[in-house]
Structure 1
Amino acid sequence: MNKILTTITVLLFACATCVGQSSYKGLTPGQSTRADVERVLGQPVKSVSKTLVEYESPEDDVRRLYVQYRNESPTAIVERIERTCVNDGSDAHDTCGPALNLGPLQGVLEDIEKSSSDVKQQAPGFVRYYGAPRFMVFTLIAKGTNTDERLAFYSKELYESVVPKSGCTGTIFGTWQTDRGRMTVQRVGDSGVQGTYSKNNGTFSLRVVERGGYQGTWKDNTGTGEMTLLHDRDTFSATWTGPGARVPPNETQKPSVSKEREQIGATVRAMIEKIEKSGKGAAIGATTPDEPSLRNKGLPPGEPWRGKCVP
């Protein structure tokens, strides 16, 4: 009996790291082989390199489907599966959301977001990294009035070798220097946010109300109150109310905006906002088209609370 229990325990432990691993049509990076890929996708369209191969996409709106292998052998393990799509800026609908099936990312906060310039792309855009257990990367690059969108599934090993490991995360997560002392923010599940700040031994818990926008409560030695926070790349703007807060009369706080966001033209910015409001995976707690966002209307009245990330 003990031997059986030990065997079950070992098997459960071995599978713990693969629960939730993302796959495409049953193909899982780090596990599937070249033979598995060709059984599902057929023969390659062309070889980009010895280990990077293009296949015909089963989806009409997906322009390219690439598979990266660990080596060039016939039994090579799949390291990455990437699908690309182009969203037409003149079209009112989000084509790529359904085509790339971004649903699994709906409601999930990314671990890291980098601007396109950080990953040596000339055009404005961003790259979002979703770590364990998914190991996925979503890329959006603006090209004229269109957006080039890519969704890639990685093996754990390849993901960990390419994910940025230094500098600010580009998300709300990490360490910040703020008006209320050093602040640390971490995730709770897929979409929860909680953290601490050093002044008066404070803690807070937030919920997502739109992309980059959070509302919730704070608590420290002075009492408890409410806060609203708007994050943008390496800075955030917030307001808080409650004991000790000095609230400017009838004043709405305008959030700071990153240079990257300013560089994106109005047409392309509208396209990105359309995608994020569509609920097709890239959006987290998106507002409806008729609902004014915090970024547009500003933060509610309260004492300002600003922060800058600590690399």
Structure 2
Amino acid sequence: MRNVFLFIRRYSNFIFFLVLQILSLSILFRYNKFHEAIFMNVAEDWTGGLNAKYNHIEYYFQLKKTNDQLVAENATLRQQLRENYENPDLPKKIVVDTFKVDSFRQIQKFVYMPAKVVGNTVTSQVNFLTIHRGSLQGVKPNMGVVSPQGIVGTVVNVGENYSSVMSLLHRQYKVVAKLLRGGERGTVEWDGTSPYYVTLKDIPKSATVKKGDTVVTSPTSSLFPGNIMVGTVQEIIDDKSSNFYTLKLRTATNFFSVEYVYVIANTQYIEQKRLEDSTRKKFQ
């Protein structure tokens, strides 16, 4: 308290000057229409600029909420993609429209769940991502993971609220893919060199391939819907001793900047896996 009094005493003349200045200006602006108009214009410009800056700051802090809403909305839209649905095998194709249809309807095979990436490695030979979604949110091992641009990997370990994803940039990771134009299928894997490139092997030389061609997931995959982006052809390696091409692909997903992903649940995965395993055992 003593310091306050000392401050007032030391700067009393200046404080008294400010009080008189404010008082005189208020009288000037209040009783002089011309000066009042000028003051109001300046005040409006100043408050308008201040409000604009405040709104900009508020908008910045609202970005996370907005981004989360967009991710959730994108997940909802992805649910509606044609590749996520299958029709039962019937002799006639079902067309669902506003008219009466057969009692058989399309079955949603793939369901999308948005998740935030909270951990990611790209410089190792065995790269993984950690996502903030686990068993309590419905995640299970062997679920595919994609980014808005393309495939990311597969869930390999699950906690209650977090899950580990084996990245496409993992030496042991493999996924079936196809050329979008011709439909020829092969296996995508990473050679452990550049995090920007993977290879597509076992493409027959009878296929018409050129640089820039698109490679997507195959509908025969049990982890991903068909036609999810994998990458684009950057180089065609022609081994003269083989009947197959090896294609160098630039990944559709930028693993250095991926922040949000979608976990894909195959609603028929357990049935399909059980049938395939029992069939293998039956003929071993």
Shorter chain as denominator, the TM-score bin is under 0.3
The TM-score normalised by the length of structure 1 is: 0.22
As a proportion of its length, which structure holds more helix?
Answer: 2
As a proportion of its length, which structure holds more strand?
Answer: 1
Greater Rg by CA = 2
